[in-house]
């Protein structure tokens, strides 16, 4: 399959990769010239963030091994704002000050054209930009290697590590060092953010949606917020419009789109999820040929998490296959309308928003019963107090989290009660817990959720006083329905 590539800018070196050529085109679209950079300075940087703390610690360790090398090491935020710069070579520091590659300045592509850290943030992938590969002439005396730092919990780009040296210096190991430093920063963020679990990295799954997770009759019992979005999507599909479904992760964007689509037209629906940056080209080649087939709709999930060069390729593909008549053969999903990349936004006719589950409490009971029935292949009952607990929880991971909780509980019983639910649903939002605190919280909840157990009995089993139990419940924000009646 031939991927769509526009002609590069006439000044772009002929030997550059497609990613760099795409970056030069974006730089031209931003209105930059080879002689122009647009440095934006902010009066302060966030030196109290976990990214700053961990990134600086990692770079100081790396500095010890590169003490005699003219390499400047930087941490930036996700917008390209330089947070810190570590280097003992005064000559390169003064030179970088002159081009504003210094703390407090933004150095994204919009400000400085094609450069290492800007490209790493745009494409969410490690990037090496040498000498003449820089868009702006003022940067062509340097070689820059950068890698994105991923938030270990959300998986989003938290910032970048950038290593800059002179253009005539050896750069073979520079990118490997940047990748290692970025990975170590993510690992240190996870370690210091105790009590959290790592977010799975993107894998680029491509799968067929057969009947989806819900049928139309079940969808009709959901709240007006979900039904309104479903009706809006169905109306847009009926008119042949291209749709973007937006909302928080786990809200059911793909479910809504595929259900609305299949109710109108019993076609084949493929869902594709964002790939790891290194797999992006193979990912496109795997599913893009399906766009041109009759009676096939492709739901492209998480377009706001795609590398910038992939966004450009995807926009070209969608323009090629967009139907002249009938229903547009694709649906896009993103976290919000504002996060849909500009190149794709113009290929969307209708935006449908799926509310977060915390704004749809009336959805929780029918969804919970549906997921339990899926797991046991028969109806599963919930005690009233268990259902009140599920309804009161705010579900930060939305429907995806509710599905997991209910399916695990239903796998153990035909009557779900408090003691079948995980500790998380009894705990309000708060700071991350250490591993020891998590164990203590879980033990308290285990005792308190045993049928008929009072606070006094839980205290005796744990070997502490009732006052301690109440204090720990407040500390961990534990709320268990009907607890006052069983004090």
The CATH architecture one would assign to domain 18-192 is 2-Layer Sandwich (3.30)
The side-by-side arrangement of strands in the sheet containing 142-150 is: 82-86, 72-76, 157-166, 142-150, 127-130
Q: For residue 199, name the pLDDT band (cuts at 50, 70, 90).
A: low
Task: Work out the angle between the directed axes of helices 384-392 and 398-410 (0-180°, nearest 10).
Answer: 160
The domain 360-486: what is its CATH number?
1.10.8.60
Stated as kind and residue range, the H or E segment containing 83 is strand 82-86
More confident site: 224 or 29: 29
Find out whether 42 and 69 touch, Cβ atoms under 8 Å.
Answer: no
Q: Residue 439, exposed/middle/buried by CB under 10 A (0-12, 13-18, 19+)?
A: exposed
Integer Cα distance of 273 and 278 in angstroms: 14
Which pLDDT score, from 0 to 100, does residue 292 have? 75
Residue 346 burial (10 A CB sphere; 0-12, 13-18, 19+): exposed
How far is CA 159 from its chain centroid? 13
Decide if pLDDT at 198 tops 70: no
* Residue % of the chain over a pLDDT of 70: 89
Q: Pick one of 3.80.30.20, 1.10.1060.10, 3.30.428.10, 3.40.50.300 as the CATH number of 206-355.
A: 3.40.50.300
| 104-147 pLDDT per residue, tens | 999 999 999 999 999 999 999 999 999 999 999 999 999 999 99
Q: Which residues contact 358 (CB under 8 A, 6 or more apart)?
A: 394, 395, 396
Q: What is the mean pLDDT of residues 158-184?
A: 91
**Composition of the chain by helix, strand, coil, percent to 5:** 45, 15, 40
CB of 276 within 8 A of CB of 203? yes
Element spanning 145, H or E: strand 142-150
| Domain boundaries along the sequence of the chain | 18-192, 206-355, 360-486
Please, which residues bridge with residue 246 across strands? 334, 353
By the 8 A CB rule, do 300 and 331 touch?
Answer: yes
The token duo for 253 is: 């964007």
Burial (CB < 10 A; 0-12, 13-18, 19+), residue 81, is: buried
When the pLDDT of each residue in the chain is averaged and rounded to a whole number, the result is 86
| Whole-angstrom distance, CA of residue 440 vs CA of residue 400 | 26
Give the model's pLDDT for residue 245. Answer: 96
pLDDT at 486 over 90: no
Contact between 418 and 388 under an 8 Å Cβ cutoff? The reply is: no
The per-residue DSSP string of 196-225 comes to --PPPPP---EEEESS-S--HHHHTTS-HH
């Amino acid at each position: 399959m031939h991927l769509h590539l526009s002609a590069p800018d006439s000044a772009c070196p002929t030997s550059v990769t497609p990613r760099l050529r795409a970056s030069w085109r974006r730089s031209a679209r931003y209105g930059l010239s080879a002689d122009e950079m647009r440095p934006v300075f902010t009066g302060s940087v966030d030196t109290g963030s976990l990214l700053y703390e961990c990134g600086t610690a990692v770079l100081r360790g790396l500095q010890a091994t590169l003490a005699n090398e003219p390499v400047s090491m930087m941490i930036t935020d996700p917008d390209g704002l330089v947070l810190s710069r570590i280097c003992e070579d005064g000559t390169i520091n003064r030179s970088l000050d002159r081009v504003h590659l210094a703390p407090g300045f933004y150095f994204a592509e919009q400000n400085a054209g094609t450069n290492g850290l800007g490209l790493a943030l745009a494409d969410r992938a490690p990037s090496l930009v040498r000498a003449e590969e820089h868009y702006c002439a003022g940067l062509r005396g340097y070689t820059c290697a950068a890698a994105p730092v991923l938030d270990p919990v959300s998986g989003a780009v938290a910032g970048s590590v950038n290593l800059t040296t002179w253009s005539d210096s050896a750069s073979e190991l520079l990118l490997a060092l940047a990748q290692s430093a970025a990975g170590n920063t993510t690992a240190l963020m996870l370690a210091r953010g105790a009590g959290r679990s790592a977010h799975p990295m993107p894998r680029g799954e491509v799968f067929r949606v057969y009947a989806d997770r819900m049928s139309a009759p079940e969808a009709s019992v959901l709240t007006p917020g979900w039904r309104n979005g479903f009706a809006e999507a169905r109306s847009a599909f009926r008119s042949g419009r291209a749709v973007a479904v937006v909302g928080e992760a786990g809200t059911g964007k793909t479910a809504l789109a595929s259900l609305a689509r299949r109710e109108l037209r019993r076609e084949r629906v493929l869902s594709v999820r964002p790939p790891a940056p290194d797999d992006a080209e193979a990912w496109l080649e795997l599913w893009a040929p399906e766009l041109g087939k009759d009676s096939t709709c492709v739901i492209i999930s998480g377009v706001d998490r795609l590398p910038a060069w992939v966004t450009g390729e995807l926009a070209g593909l969608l323009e090629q296959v967009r139907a002249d008549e009938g229903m547009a053969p694709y649906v896009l999903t993103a976290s919000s309308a504002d996060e849909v990349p500009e190149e794709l936004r113009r290929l969307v006719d209708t935006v449908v928003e799926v509310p977060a589950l915390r704004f749809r409490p009336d959805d929780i009971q029918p969804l919970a019963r549906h997921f339990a029935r899926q797991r046991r292949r028969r109806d599963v009952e919930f005690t009233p107090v268990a259902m009140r607990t599920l309804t009161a929880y705010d579900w930060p991971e939305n429907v995806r989290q509710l599905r997991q909780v209910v399916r695990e509980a239903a796998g153990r019983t035909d009557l779900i009660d408090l003691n079948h639910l995980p500790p998380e649903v009894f705990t309000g939002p708060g700071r991350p817990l250490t591993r020891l605190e998590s164990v203590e919280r879980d033990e308290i909840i285990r005792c308190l959720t045993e049928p008929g157990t009072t606070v006094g009995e839980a205290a005796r089993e744990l070997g502490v006083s009732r006052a301690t139990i109440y204090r720990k419940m407040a500390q961990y924000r534990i709320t268990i329905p009907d607890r006052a009646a069983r004090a």
